[in-house]
Amino acid sequence: MHLPRLAIVDLETTGADPSRDRITEIAILITEGEELIEQWSTLVNPGMPIPQRIQELIGITDEMVAAAPPFEQLAEQVLARLSDVVFVAHNVRFDYNFLRAAFERLDMQWTTPVLCTVKFSRALDPEFPRHGLDALIERHGYTIDARHRALDDAKIVWRFLSDSLRRADAERLQKAWDKAHSSASNNVPRLPRGDLEALPDSPGAWVYRSATGQLLDIGCARDLRSQVLGFFTALRPSAKNKKIAAAVHDVETWPCAGELGAQLKELQLVRSLREQPATRAFGWRWLRRATQPPVLRLTDLLGSDPADWQDVFGCLRGEREATIALQELARQHRLCATRLGLEQGGGPCQGVHLGRCAGVCVGREATEIHDARLATALAALSMKPWPFAGRILVREHHAGSQRSATHVFDQWCLLGSAQDEGTLASLLEDSPARHFDVDIYRIINRWLAAPEHLAQVQAL
């Protein structure tokens, strides 16, 4: 495969938001085929302080850029170097968006084809899970003098491309190129606002919004940084995700101490931001003392105390789903629709004429025999019993971020969460009443089903 003229670019910046942050260093390597014909780099005065954490990460300080030229003095020569080339960068969206924003602030027009070497690496070596620059350096045994300095990072990208030409066959290279290359720079969506590079690798929840503030997506993840960054740099995003990513303007995140906390935070955000009410759930209460039909009554479980659910069966999403479930049980166990309350009025139920009812409604079968089958049928709808004697604490801690949280549950109900021991003590001393929430029930039920989570549970 013959490479076209490339401009391999790496930038260092004051942060990860092109609309707010500025460039502090630029490196451009110009290549023809397999030959490096020019290398150029310079520090850039960003016109703003470099955050301390960025100075510590990349080694570029405010003192180093104080005498450097601002971007407006470099723009013409940068533009000249980026003309009639394929713009190459490792995570091209980041570097391209910063330069696009810098040129736009000067009312300068710039467009060029692009190649993302992250996508190129993923397509060329899909068997490896990681394709960041550090992963390439480790995987291929590269050495680098100054990681996170623009020129050294750009040289690593060029070495990776050069080595790829020698180790892969032409067909494989062409397929990787086609997946990573875009002939139109307007196919590079703008990065959303928010310091994505600084996101922690802890669990957490996120919200994506458009430029007008419209809510686009809410979600949670085990690894917040990987999930959010991956959404905007996916190799083959779905049509839906591609559309959302192109429209995202702001990213807001909530790091959490663990996966359970992230799921609970997502639920809270969905309800508050989408104004989505709690999901209603229904069960069938068996009125064992009833002398006349119906012997079952539909019961709304939302907000009730599960400790009061004696003879309540099922946790179904709505009245229609609850009715369909009961109808199916009646069919399977030859139960009387009139006695169950599925049909109104006296006399024989329709099931008698169709051979689906043993005849309790017309005196052919004793109610005791019918209700014995009813008990067997309703057992299939029984709620999973709370597997503890009382309240439990679920303790979560993320070592990297040092975040901790403790969640208190009882009878599938969330009683509250605490970030410190003092708040937890108050919560345990004055616990709120149990109020059933089917969404909470599903979250904690799935979470407890994973054996590795049980070590985080403390029964009280």
Please report the pLDDT score of residue 191 as a whole number: 63
> pLDDT at position 144, please?
87
Q: What is the pLDDT of residues 377-436, one digit of tens each?
A: 999 999 889 999 999 999 999 988 889 999 999 999 999 999 999 999 999 999 999 999
Cβ-in-10-Å burial (0-12, 13-18, 19+) of 437 comes to buried
In this predicted structure, which of 31-45, 300-314, 344-358 has the lowest mean pLDDT? 344-358
Residue 312 pLDDT > 90, yes or no?
Answer: yes
pTM for the whole structure:
0.65
* Per-residue pLDDT at 196: 65
Q: Which 8-state DSSP code applies to residue 70?
A: B
Q: What is the percentage of the chain residues whose pLDDT exceeds 70?
A: 96
Residue 187 has pLDDT above 80, yes or no: no
Residue 381, CB-side half-sphere exposure with 13 Å CA sphere: 27
Half-sphere exposure of 242 (CA within 13 A, CB side): 7
Confidence of residue 44 (pLDDT cuts 50, 70, 90): very high
- CA distances for 214 relative to 38, 126, 276, angstroms: 45, 36, 16
pLDDT in tens, 267-285: 999 999 999 999 999 999 9
* Packing angle of the helix pair 71-81, 92-105 (nearest 10 deg): 120
Which pLDDT score is estimated for 193?
60
Q: Per-residue pLDDT for 13 more than 80?
A: yes
Sign of dihedral through CA atoms 44, 50, 56, 57?
A: negative
Q: Other C-beta atoms within 10 Å of 344: how many?
A: 9
Q: CB–CB of 26/11 below 8 Å?
A: yes
Confidence of residue 17 (pLDDT cuts 50, 70, 90): confident
pLDDT of amino acid 226: 80
Element (H, E) at 197: none
Q: Tell me whether strands 204-209 and 392-398 are parallel, antiparallel or unpaired.
A: unpaired
pLDDT of residue 399: 87
Of 3.90.25.10, 3.40.50.1370, 2.40.40.20, 3.30.420.10, which CATH number belongs to 6-187? Answer: 3.30.420.10
Q: How confident is the model at residue 236 (pLDDT cuts 50, 70, 90)?
A: low
Task: Pinpoint the residues of the chain covered by CATH 3.30.420.10.
Answer: 6-187
Q: Could you tell me the pLDDT band of residue 16, with boundaries at 50, 70 and 90?
A: confident
CA pair distance 99, 110, nearest whole angstrom: 9
Q: Look at residue 185 and tell me whether its pLDDT is greater than 60.
A: no
What is the DSSP code string of 286-329? Answer: E-TT-SSS--EEEEE-TT--GGG-TTEEEEESSHHHHHHHHHHH
213 contacts: CB under 8 Å, gap ≥ 6: 250
Dihedral, CA of residue 365, residue 368, residue 369 and residue 372, to nearest 10: 150
Which of 264, 263, 301 shows the shortest CA–CA distance to 438? 301
Rounded-to-integer distance, Cα 305 and Cα 368, Å: 30
Question: 196-273 falls under which CATH superfamily?
Answer: GIY-YIG endonuclease (3.40.1440.10)
For residues 127-155, b (16+ Cβ closer than 10 Å) or e, as one string?
A: eeeebebeebbeeeeeeeeeebbbbbbbb
Of residues 129 and 450, which shows the higher confidence score? Answer: 450
User: pLDDT by residue (tens digit) across 69-119?
Assistant: 999 999 999 999 999 999 999 988 889 989 988 999 999 988 889 999 998
The tokens 């004696």 sit on which residue? 310
8 A C-beta contact, residue 156 and residue 164: no
pLDDT for the residue numbered 194: 58
The C-alpha atoms of residue 26 and residue 102 are separated, in whole angstroms, by: 12
Q: What is the mean pLDDT of residues 6-23?
A: 90
Mean pLDDT over the full length of the chain? 91
Query: What distance in Å separates the CA atoms of residue 3 and residue 165, rounded to the nearest whole number?
Result: 9
> Could you give the residue range(s) of every CATH 3.40.1440.10 domain in the chain?
196-273
CB 293 within 8 A of CB 338: yes
**Sign of the torsion formed by the C-alpha atoms of 120, 124, 128 and 134:** negative
pLDDT at 294: 92
Give Cα 109 distance to the centre of its chain.
36
For residue 164, give Cα distances in angstroms to 34, 77, 168, 252. 11, 30, 6, 38
Mean pLDDT of 283-290: 93
